[in-house]
Amino acid sequence: MHIILVPSRLATARTMHISSRLLMALVAGFVCFAFITPFVLAWIGIHFRLPFSEELAAPAQQHAEQVRNFKAEEYVRDNISSMAVKLGEMQAQVMRLDSLGERISKLSGVNPPKSEVVGKDGQGGPLIHLSRPLSANDLQGEIDRLAEIVEQRSDALTALESQLMERRIKTVLLPTITPINANHIGSTFGRRVDPIAGVGAMHEGIDFVADQGTPVIASAGGIVLAAEYHPQYGKMIEVDHGNDFSSIYAHLSKMNIKAGQIIKRGQLIGASGNTGRSTGPHLHFEVRFRGVAQDPARFLQQGSQVALNSPGQSRTGSLSAKKSRASATFDAPL
C-alpha cells in the first residue's frame, strides 16, 4: 500500500509504503486495545474504588441476576407440574390411610386416640377453578400442610397398633380357653360341702368331670412352673402366664410337659385322671392372680368368642371349648 503526503509548504510530495503485514499488525493492536481497555479500567476502578466502577459493574450484575432468576423460574416451571401430580398422589394416599384406620378401628373395636386433625373441619362451597396454576410458594404450602397431616395419621395408626398389640398380648396370655372337653361341671368356684370330709369348705377352682385320659390343653401360653405330684392335687401342672396370672391343672393321669418348658395357648399338656385327693376322674382347674384364687368361669366366659379365633389354639382345643360351653353353665357373673 502506498500513501502520498503533500505538505502545504512543500512543493514536492512524499510517498510512504505500508506493507500488508504492518497493516494487519496495526489492526490487531487496535482490536486488542479496544477489548482490553474496558477490563483494565474496570479493574482499576474496583481496586481503587473509583466512583465510576459501580456504574460500570451494575449493568453486568443486573444481567447476571436476571439470568439466574430466569433459569430458576424455568426450572420451577418445568418441575411444578410433576410436583403437583405427586402432591395429588400423596393426598390420595392420606385418604386411603384414613379409610384404613377407620376400618381397622371398627373391626377391632379399638378407638384411636383423639387428636387435632388438619382438614377435618366442616368445609364446602362451589367449585371454582383457579385462573392460574399453583405457584411454587402455594405448592410448598400444600406440601407442608400435607406433611403435618401424614405425621398425625402416622401417630394415630401407631397408637392404634399399640392398643391392638396390647389387647392381643392380654388375650393370648389370659387363661380364656376351656382346658378340657368335659361331660359336665362337678363343682364350681366358691363354697361347697367337701366331697370327702363332708364339711363346708372353699373350692378354689372348677371341677370338669371327664373320662379317664381325656386330653387337657393349656388355657393360655406361658412357662411351666411345676409339673409334679402333689399330695392334694395329685399329678399337677402349674403355668405362669405373666402379668401375675397363673393356672393349675390337677388330678391328672398323665403329664406331657416338664417344669421350665415354654408352652403355647391350646397346647396339649396332659390327660385327666383320678390322682391325689379325688373321688373320680375329672380335671380340677384354677386361675390365680398374684397367688389369690379367682373364679375361672369369669375368664372362660370372657374368652368364649376370642378363644375360638386364637391362632395358638388347636383344633382339639376348639372342639373342647365348644362342647364344654354347650354342656356347662357358669353362674359367676362377668
pLDDT digits (tens, 9 = 90+) for 101-112: 777 777 666 666
Local confidence band at 228 (pLDDT 50, 70, 90 cut-offs): very high
The yes-or-no verdict on residue 311 having pLDDT over 60 is no
pLDDT (average), residues 57-71 = 68
Residue 54: its pLDDT value, please? 56
Handedness of CA 155, 156, 157, 163 (dihedral sign): positive
Q: Are 5 and 13 in contact (CB under 8 A)?
A: yes
Q: Please state the separation of Cα 201 from the chain's center in Å.
A: 52
Residue 162 is assigned to a structural domain of this protein? no
**Other CB atoms closer than 10 Å to residue 186's CB: what's the count?**
19
Residue 137 is assigned to a structural domain of this protein? no
pTM for this prediction: 0.49
Give the three cell numbers for residue 40. 483494565
Only one residue has cell 474496570, namely: 42
Q: To the nearest whole number, what is the mean pLDDT of the chain? A: 75
Residue 323: its pLDDT value, please? 40
Higher-pLDDT residue of 102, 135:
102
Residue 51: its pLDDT value, please? 57
Residue 310: its pLDDT value, please? 39
Give the three cell numbers for residue 266. 391350646
The yes-or-no verdict on residue 92 having pLDDT over 60 is yes
Instruction: Choose from 106-115, 161-170, 246-255, 292-301 the range with maximum mean pLDDT.
Output: 246-255
Residue 85 is assigned to a structural domain of this protein? no
Instruction: State the DSSP code for 237.
Output: E
The yes-or-no verdict on residue 246 having pLDDT over 90 is yes
Give the three cell numbers for residue 21. 503485514
Residue 149 is assigned to a structural domain of this protein? no
pLDDT (average), residues 272-282 = 93
Instruction: State the DSSP code for 307.
Output: G
Contacts of 41 (CB under 8 A, 6+ apart): 56
Give the three cell numbers for residue 142. 400444600
pLDDT (average), residues 271-282 = 94
Q: Residue 75 in 3-state DSSP? A: helix
Of 84-88, 133-137, 187-191, 207-211, where does mean pLDDT reach its minimum? 133-137
* Angle, CA of 80, 83 and 86, to the nearest 5°: 155
Only one residue has cell 430458576, namely: 72
Distance, in Å, from the CA atom of 30 to the CA atom of 42, rounded to the nearest integer, reads 19
pLDDT (average), residues 168-173 = 70
Residue 85: its pLDDT value, please? 74
Local confidence band at 61 (pLDDT 50, 70, 90 cut-offs): low
Residue 67: its pLDDT value, please? 72
Distance, in Å, from the CA atom of 99 to the CA atom of 126, rounded to the nearest integer, reads 25
Q: Residue 272 in 3-state DSSP? A: strand
Domain CATH for 231:
2.70.70.10
Residue 229: its pLDDT value, please? 95
Local confidence band at 332 (pLDDT 50, 70, 90 cut-offs): very low
Higher-pLDDT residue of 28, 139:
28
Pairing of strands 222-230, 234-242: antiparallel
Residue 73 is assigned to a structural domain of this protein? no
Higher-pLDDT residue of 54, 87:
87
Residue 193 belongs to what domain range? Answer: 184-327
Higher-pLDDT residue of 103, 334:
103
Give the end of a domain, one of 13, 30, 47: 47
Distance, in Å, from the CA atom of 2 to the CA atom of 5, rounded to the nearest integer, reads 10
Helical segments of 109-135, H only = none
Q: Are 226 and 288 in contact (CB under 8 A)?
A: no
Length of the chain: 334
Q: How far apart are the first and last CA of the chain?
A: 125
Residue 176 is assigned to a structural domain of this protein? no
Distance, in Å, from the CA atom of 255 to the CA atom of 303, rounded to the nearest integer, reads 25
3-state secondary structure 250-305: EEEEEECCCCCCEECCCCEEEEEECCCCCCCCEEEEEEEECCEEECHHHHHHHCCC
Residue 33: its pLDDT value, please? 77
The yes-or-no verdict on residue 2 having pLDDT over 80 is no
The yes-or-no verdict on residue 244 having pLDDT over 80 is yes
Report the percentage of the chain scoring pLDDT > 70. Answer: 64
Q: Are 145 and 257 in contact (CB under 8 A)?
A: no
Residue 281: its pLDDT value, please? 95
Residue 155 is assigned to a structural domain of this protein? no
Residue 332 is assigned to a structural domain of this protein? no
The yes-or-no verdict on residue 282 having pLDDT over 70 is yes
Q: Which of 279, 298, 278, 276 is nearest to 287 (CA)?
A: 298
Give the three cell numbers for residue 215. 386330653
Q: What's the total number of domains in the chain?
A: 2
From residue 141, alpha-carbon distances to 88, 121, 137, 325 in Å are 14, 18, 6, 60
**Single-letter code of the amino acid located at 47:** H
